[in-house]
Amino acid sequence: MKGIGIVRKVDHLGRIVLPKELRDLMSINPHDGVEIFVDNNAIVLKKYNPSCILCGSSYNLFYFRDKIICEECISETAKYVLAKQPQKTVSHK
């Protein structure tokens, strides 16, 4: 991790402002999400890029029970579940 020589003070509500140069460098736009991590003694900020919990894809995403799943994994999971279901037979009288 390298320093960029910019210091910002925390305001009375606990906020800091990310410098424009840093936002531009990291392609962080207004209303983008930023993830916050703690790594040993460091606070790490990372631009939030939602992705599928199963395959990691960031395309065609859906929220299901507070989890993010892509359309392809939904389709594959449905096929798998249906293949495992016992086949029902209909008797004709």
And the tokens for 47? 């631009």
Asked whether residue 90 carries a pLDDT value surpassing 70, the answer given is: no
Domain span at 56: 50-85
90: in domain: no
Same domain, 26 and 44: yes
pTM (global) more than 0.85 = no
Helix (H) or strand (E) holding 28: none
Mean confidence (pLDDT) of the chain: 88
Asked whether residue 68 carries a pLDDT value surpassing 80, the answer given is: yes
CA-to-CA distance for 14 and 45, rounded, in angstroms?
Answer: 15
35: in domain: yes
Asked whether residue 58 carries a pLDDT value surpassing 80, the answer given is: yes
Same domain, 43 and 60: no
Asked whether residue 89 carries a pLDDT value surpassing 70, the answer given is: no
CA-to-CA distance for 91 and 58, rounded, in angstroms?
Answer: 46
22: in domain: yes
Same domain, 68 and 57: yes
Asked whether residue 76 carries a pLDDT value surpassing 80, the answer given is: yes
92: in domain: no
2: in domain: no
